[in-house]
Structure 1
């Protein structure tokens, strides 16, 4: 998708929060435009900016976002059959419900 190699905007958040939020919002918006079910990032700071700041980023870019953002170890954990609660997914701002449902249908649940 168009934004797959773009920075999430976290490095500039303390210098220019509005620009950081705009960058994050465009990044998530590009993924939505490409019909992504979620974004997975190996960087914990990207995860923070793209999930935690997503409601504010949506306001800045003027569109609904609501795309689940996973940290790479969370996706690996789901693939291994770990419970979402063990992976901290209950703390996400944008609930990764669709991703969890999909993973449990494919991998199954340990419960």
Structure 2
């Protein structure tokens, strides 16, 4: 999916200063990606991964819609491509479930 917000800030830097604005950014990023057909979002930044995964449920509640978009960190994606077990990569520890995504790419959740 060609995501128009791929270089936009995820909102992590302002989460402690203006949580509502940060949640809005999380909601906008994840819902836009989902609406464009994304099955997941991959991020190279660990803070983006944290923010987009950890706060997505609260952002969805604030937006009054379901988002449920798994967030994968680049090293986890590389690990999957190399054949590492998803549990070894701690993908099962994400806030937003990755089970459906792992099933779609033929890996056991």
**Normalising to structure 1: TM-score of the pair?**
0.89
1:68 to 67, 70, 79: 70
Query: Which consecutive segments of 4 or more residues in structure 1 shift more than 6 A?
Result: none
SS of equivalent residue, structure 1 residue 66: coil
1:84-105 CA-partner distances (Å, limit 9, x unpaired)? 11001111011112332233x3
Greater CA drift, 39-48 or 55-64: 55-64
> Contact (CA 8 Å) 1:10, 1:46: kept in 2 or not?
yes
Equivalence for 1:98: 100
> Contact (CA 8 Å) 1:78, 1:100: kept in 2 or not?
no
1:36 to 24, 38, 53: 38
User: Unpaired segments of 5 or more residues in structure 2?
Assistant: none
1:9 is aligned to 2:11: yes
**Normalising to structure 2: TM-score of the pair?**
0.90
Question: What is the Cα deviation at residue 3 of structure 1?
Answer: 2.1
Q: Distance in 1 between matches of 2:89 and 2:24?
A: 28
Q: Distance in 2 between matches of 1:79 and 1:101?
A: 14
